[in-house]
Each structure stands twice: as structure tokens, then as C-alpha cells.
Structure 1
């Protein structure tokens, strides 16, 4: 197994550093500086970089890191990302240089068309596809694509730790409560997150079980979620249409 270190970046990003002995990997290094600081402080050598998609806040630090550490770079083959040495399409099983643990590469289009996620050792590194309490915006893909991607992530074991790339949980749960106000699990989560954020604590990682119980974008068959979506889009006849209605509602919430 590896240790996971949270590295805050920009306003609300998280870069994830995975440590195994003196070797390390990072996930979505949008900024090299805080990563280099942790590597130096902890005496670690960076041997692997994982990138989920091409947005600058997820891969903007790759070339600067490579100038200091000759790391292998796993990233989506379908997207333009500098420094990639291990292009991926989804469906691969990979072993990274920093440890002997295998990862499954999952194609999760929607937020971007080439977006991928990494699943291994009970941990899911999902970039901007699945958030704690929410999901990414549809910048390139369709609602059907993102719904399918989220459904595949939701099929992972309940205990899977969900390491998303942003601290959006409070805002996401405000929306979730507007969608499904009678959900008692959600009510408890809202209160727990409010306490955590008031203390300056992170709310990530979550788990697949928590997301399935409280995240409206994984609950598009739940009666109250369906009813809320149909109040806005009466013709939302199936789960994909409910999802699309929720995603559009969230855009302006």
C-alpha cells in the first residue's frame, strides 16, 4: 500500500501525492511548486505522474516537475498534454514505477472527452468526473457520456476512497439538499461537512458508499430526485434526462 498526502493548490484544487518508501507519484499536478516543496521536505524522489485530463489546473506543472525529476507520465492519449510518456485510452491495467501496486485505467468521458481515472489499492483518483457531493461540468462531452462514466464509478466497491481534485463539497451539498431535502443521510452529511470546513479540515476523500447515499448525480432513479428534476424539466423521462436536468440546474444554482 502507499500513503496519500494532500497538497492544496490554487484556490480549491487538491494534488494527491502517493508515497511508498522514498519514492512518490503525484496525481494532477497543476502547479509544480507545492509538489517540489513536499518532495524536498519529505526526502522523496518523484518517479510517476498521473494526469486525468488536459485542463491546466491538472497538468500545468508537469514539465516543471520533469525538469527536476525524470518521472514517467501517464495521461490520456486523446488529449494534448506535454511530457506524456505513457499514453492511455482506458481499459488498461498499469504498474507505476513508484510502487508495485497495479492500477486500472478507467475511461470516464464527459467533463472532457479523453478524461480518465485511476483505480488501485481501494483508491479512486477521478479528477473532475466525480466530486464529493457532485460531478464535473460538461465542457466537452454529453450528459449521456458523463452519466455512463459516473455509473461505472458507482459500481466500484462501496469502501473505495474517492480522491477528487477540488474542495467543492459544501457548495455541492447545498445543491444536493435543494434536490433531495428529505434525504436523512444527506442531512447528516451536510452538518458533518459544515463542522469540518469551519475547522479548516478537508472533506476529501469520500467513499463510493457515501456518494451513492447522498450525491444526487448518482441518485437519478431516487423518487425525490426524479420529482425535483421533473419540476424543472417535465419531459425528463429517464435517468439520463434526469441527470441532464440536474447538471443544467447546478450550472446556475
Structure 2
């Protein structure tokens, strides 16, 4: 078989302690999965079930990279997140066995064009252009479960130019990782290579050109993203 156009490169993540890479199929993201963040965004965490949006796999950005300030926004926001990598797919996965489907964990930053998101919410439109734009998914090295274990607790924080913006604990997730996997697998068939960004704590805020954004999760290290100049 020959391709009509050049075949796009396969998005992937580096793996800690290995020259192998983890191929990425899809990126799912959980909205408002920390109670305080749900409240700061005007939602009631006691009433809402988990909901999801997506980013394209080629929106991944490596640790240490410079992300150009995206067009179409004056209010780019950071969102520190734990990322789950699926190694075994499935549908209707029970909560009790959901963690068996996890290959590893990484640090993520769900970059968001907040003004576009607010405008979309106001008129009931999709969030695609607010969440799924180019370079919108910085993600660090993948830590295999065999070395990291399952992360049910641990500090998660984000700083900008050394100033602490977000600080919480993974134990504060409204829907823990196993519940997220089980619920999502009821909605779609999960497959090896899928990533799940599990939600961000309170304290989201703006990034401007020249900022250095660092996300840290206990046991996973740090993810650094530089915000560059606006694209032409």
C-alpha cells in the first residue's frame, strides 16, 4: 500500500529509564475533577457526574519545550494534571479492575484558551477550539506502573516564574483514577495508547509570553513549559 500524502508522524511519549517510546492514540480529559476548581469555574461538584473533552494526540508537547502563545486568545491558562496512560483496552471496565488497565503515569498541563471556553459555554457550543489547539497538551516522561506504583495520593502543584499558583493533593480528586477509567470505558472503548488527563486543582490562571510554567507531582518529578512569542 502507498499513501496519497506523506503519513503523519506517530505522536508518542518518552518513557523513564528506556529508549522505547509510548505511542499515543487519543487524549481524553476530565473536566472539573477537583471540588475547589469546579466551584471556581461556577459548577457544583456535589451534583455533576464526570464529563470529558478531547485533545488531538499531535497536540502533545515535550518537557522543556517552548509553546508559542496561541492565536485567537488573550487569556491562555495553565492547568496542572495527572496523566494516565492506558496499556490494556476495554469497554465497560469494572472499577475494581480498572487500575489493571493502566500502563503508567505522567505529568500534564492542560493549556486552555479560557476566553474562548467562556464564550463557548455562554452559547452552549463545543470547547474544541478552547482546548484542542496546537501545542495544547504539554506532557512529561511516562513512568511505568512497575516502577511508580499506582498514584492515589501525593502533592500536585504548579508555579509560574517561581510563584506558586496551584497546590493540592491527588487524593482530592472527586473521581479517582479507577472511577474515571470505568466511567469513560462505558462511553467509549478504551485502547492501548490512550491518555487520560484527570483534571486540575483550583488556582488556574493566565500565562503570558516569556513565562516559565512548572508542574510538579510527587513521585513523577517536574514538567517545564516555556511560553514563547505569538505565532504569526
After TM superposition, the score normalised by the length of structure 2 is 0.25
Q: Which has the larger radius of gyration?
A: 1
> Which protein, 1 or 2, shows the higher relative CO under an 8 Å CA cutoff with sep ≥ 6?
2
Task: Identify, as 1 or 2, the structure richer in strand.
Answer: 2
After TM superposition, the score normalised by the length of structure 1 is 0.24
Task: Identify, as 1 or 2, the structure richer in helix.
Answer: 1
